A and B are shown apart, each in its own frame.
Chain A
Amino acid sequence: MIFSFDLLTNAIVSGILIGAFYAAVTVGITISFGILDIVNIAHPAFIILGSYVAYIINATFGLDPILTAILVTPAFYALGAGIYQIYYLSFEKRGQESMRGLAFFFGLLFITEVSLVLYFGVDYRYVQAPYIGPTWHVGSLDIPLRIMVPAVVSLLMIAVLQFVLTRTFVGRAIMAVAQDQLALKLMAVDPIRIKRIAFGISIATASLAGAFLIIIQPVEPSVGREYIGRVFAICVLGGMGSMPGIVIAAMLVGIVESLTSTFYGPSWAPAVSFGFLLLTLAVRPAGLLGR
Chain B
Amino acid sequence: MTVRSDIFLLICLVVGAAVFAAALALGNEYYFFAGYVVLQYVVLSTAWNILGGYCGYVNFGSAAFFALGAYSTVAIHQFHPMPIPVLVVGGGLVSGVVGFGMGYLTLRLRGAFFAIATLALAVVLETLVVNWDYVGGSRGAYIVRPETIAPFGSYIKYLFLIMMLLAVGSITVARLIERSRLGYGFATIRDDELAAEASGVPTLRLKLIATTISGALMGMAGAPFPYYIGFLQPSSAFSLDYAVNSIAMPLIGGTTGWVGPLIGAVLLGSLQQIATVTISSAVNLLIVGFLLVGFVIVAPNGIIGLVQKYVEHKPAGRVGRRPVKTDLPKAAP
B149 within 8 A of A: no
Residues of B within 8 A of A187 (CB): none
B117 within 8 A of A: yes
Give Cα A91–Cα B326 distance, bound, in whole angstroms: 11
Give Cα A267–Cα B131 distance, bound, in whole angstroms: 7
Residues of B within 8 A of A181 (CB): 328
Give Cα A236–Cα B114 distance, bound, in whole angstroms: 13
- A95→B324 contact, CB < 8 A: yes
- A118→B123 contact, CB < 8 A: no
Chain B contact surface mostly: helix
Q: Of the 9-residue stretches A57-65, A161-169, A201-209, A277-285, which lies at the interface with chain B? A: A277-285
- A274→B115 contact, CB < 8 A: no
Q: Of the 9-residue stretches A10-18, A124-132, A222-230, which lies at the interface with chain B? A: A222-230
A89 to chain B: closest residue by CB? B297
- B283→A118 contact, CB < 8 A: yes
Residues of B within 8 A of A104 (CB): 293, 296-297
B244 to chain A: closest residue by CB? A110
- A90→B297 contact, CB < 8 A: yes
Residues of B within 8 A of A110 (CB): 240, 244, 285, 288-289, 292
- B240→A225 contact, CB < 8 A: yes
Residues of A within 8 A of B288 (CB): 110
Report the minimal beta-carbon distance from A14 to chain B, rounded to whole angstroms. Answer: 20
A244 within 8 A of B: no
- A229→B297 contact, CB < 8 A: no
With A94-B300, A102-B112: A111-B289 Cβ-Cβ less than 8 Å: yes
Report the minimal beta-carbon distance from B226 to chain A, rounded to whole angstroms. Answer: 22
Scan residues 35-69 of chain A and give those whose CB is less than 8 A from a CB of chain B: 39, 41
Residues of A within 8 A of B300 (CB): 94, 96, 100
Report the minimal beta-carbon distance from A250 to chain B, rounded to whole angstroms. Answer: 16
Give Cα A41–Cα B244 distance, bound, in whole angstroms: 13
- B282→A118 contact, CB < 8 A: yes
With A41-B116, A41-B119: A114-B124 Cβ-Cβ less than 8 Å: no
Residues of A within 8 A of B58 (CB): 98-99, 102-103
With A103-B58, A229-B124, A270-B123: A39-B116 Cβ-Cβ less than 8 Å: yes
B288 to chain A: closest residue by CB? A110
Residues of B within 8 A of A97 (CB): 326
B271 within 8 A of A: no
- A271→B127 contact, CB < 8 A: yes
With A94-B323, A95-B323, A103-B58: A277-B283 Cβ-Cβ less than 8 Å: no
A233 within 8 A of B: yes
B331 within 8 A of A: yes
- For B, the interface residue count at a CB cutoff of 8 angstroms equals 50
- B113→A281 contact, CB < 8 A: yes
- A106→B326 contact, CB < 8 A: no
A110 to chain B: closest residue by CB? B289
A282 to chain B: closest residue by CB? B105
A71 within 8 A of B: no
Contact of B120 among A94, A114, A274 (CB under 8 A): A274
Scan residues 151-172 of chain B and give those whose CB is less than 8 A from a CB of chain A: none
B10 within 8 A of A: no
- A107→B127 contact, CB < 8 A: no
B66 within 8 A of A: no
B332 within 8 A of A: no
Residues of A within 8 A of B138 (CB): 267
- B123→A107 contact, CB < 8 A: no
Residues of B within 8 A of A114 (CB): 282, 285-286, 289
B57 to chain A: closest residue by CB? A99
B97 within 8 A of A: no
Report the minimal beta-carbon distance from B189 to chain A, rounded to whole angstroms. Answer: 12
- A86→B244 contact, CB < 8 A: no
- B131→A228 contact, CB < 8 A: no
Report the minimal beta-carbon distance from B315 to chain A, rounded to whole angstroms. Answer: 12
B325 within 8 A of A: yes
* Besides the known contacts A99-B58, A182-B328, A270-B127, 6 further A-B residue pairs in the complex with CB atoms under 8 A apart: A39-B112, A95-B324, A108-B293, A114-B282, A118-B286, A271-B127
Please list the residues of chain A having a beta carbon within 8 angstroms of any beta carbon in chain B. Answer: 33, 39, 41, 86, 90-100, 102-104, 106-108, 110-111, 113-115, 117-118, 181-182, 185, 191, 222, 225-226, 228-229, 232-233, 236, 267-268, 270-271, 273-275, 277-278, 281-282, 285
Closest 7 CB pairs of A and B: A229-B120, A95-B323, A107-B293, A111-B289, A274-B124, A107-B292, A110-B289
Please list the residues of chain B having a beta carbon within 8 angstroms of any beta carbon in chain A. Answer: 52, 56, 58, 60, 105-106, 109, 111-113, 115-117, 119-121, 123-124, 126-128, 130-131, 138, 240, 243-244, 247-248, 251, 255, 282-283, 285-286, 288-290, 292-293, 296-297, 300, 323-328, 331
Q: List 18 A-B contacts (CB under 8 A).
A: A39-B115, A39-B116, A41-B115, A96-B300, A98-B56, A99-B56, A99-B255, A102-B115, A107-B290, A107-B292, A107-B296, A114-B282, A181-B328, A229-B124, A232-B116, A233-B120, A271-B128, A281-B106
